Structure 1
Amino acid sequence: MKAIFEAIFLVFMIIANLFFLLQIEEFPQEGWDELGPAAYPRLILLVMLLILIYLFIRVVIKLLKIRGTGFNFSLNTGRNIIIKYKKVLISILLFLLYIFSINYAGFRLSTFSYLLVTQWILSPRKKKNLPPIIIASLLIGFGIPFFFETYLGVMFPQGILFQ
């Protein structure tokens, strides 16, 4: 059961990795640099892709060995996996929503919202946990962009809604 979840997760990771590799091709090319700004991220993504493919092959081999022992996967097993990993799946969905919302709501608002909701879901839901969650979300969501833009000159996405 765990191996099936691992295989599904690895397939999603491989697809995401390939998506990011395609996005890197859109980086602007600098005339003075042979490699360009996409060289280092491309290298990291290619190494990650090789590791993911290796892990996927290992999981498939493991599944084939389990299949020979009479392992059956049913709908109830799939439900149990979803129930067991509910918070992980919600976190992944929230992360994808966060990535896509940066273009519309901007880095600050998207990061603040993502951190606030994710920390609230993953933490024990007690009122005493809410102030540190809000403070951490505010500091990271608004403090980091302020520091980078003010002192380092690095601009963060403003979003379509705030331009």
Structure 2
Amino acid sequence: MATQTVNTTILTTSHPDIAKRTSLSGLIFSSLILLVGVLAFVSTFEIADHSSTLSMGLMVLGSGMFLIGIFRLFWKSKEVVYLPTGSVAREKSVFFDLKYMEQLKEMVKSGTFPTDANLKGEASGNIRMDVVLSEDKKFAAVQLFQFVPYTYNPITSVQYFTNGEASAIAAFLSKCR
């Protein structure tokens, strides 16, 4: 278990076993959207009546798909990978009521996440737990934040867990929902 300073957040820290890579499937999907958008836009010039509804619809559709393709290509084609196992890691946030703050802080600092804890996750709340969890449940990064008017401020440092501790976090998160 390694830690970072409280001022860093889970999304800005770097861990030697975590890397951001280009997703091949995301890259292909974005390229297809981009290509369909370009083809739809170019097809508007093949229609004899440029002021027709079909021509305008294809132009709007092509422009929209082109912009979505560009957005996905540059910002959505990356994925976080846990290097030792090659598993993709997902980022998520779970919210809790303020009454659970001390219990959650102790759990994060000690690294023990019991599945029998009576903590109920909510759609929103004063405490936010940011988690990066690999799909194979062999790696997890956890950090707690508290809502102070207009922003969430970190209350714990980023904690990294591997193997059994990471799978315990996954079990805890599935129980909280």
Quick check: TM above 0.5?
Answer: no
Higher relative contact order, structure no. (Cα contacts within 8 Å, ≥ 6 residues apart)? 2
Give the alignment's TM-score, normalised by structure 1.
Answer: 0.32
Larger of the two Rg values belongs to structure:
2
Larger % of helix: which?
1
Give the alignment's TM-score, normalised by structure 2.
Answer: 0.29
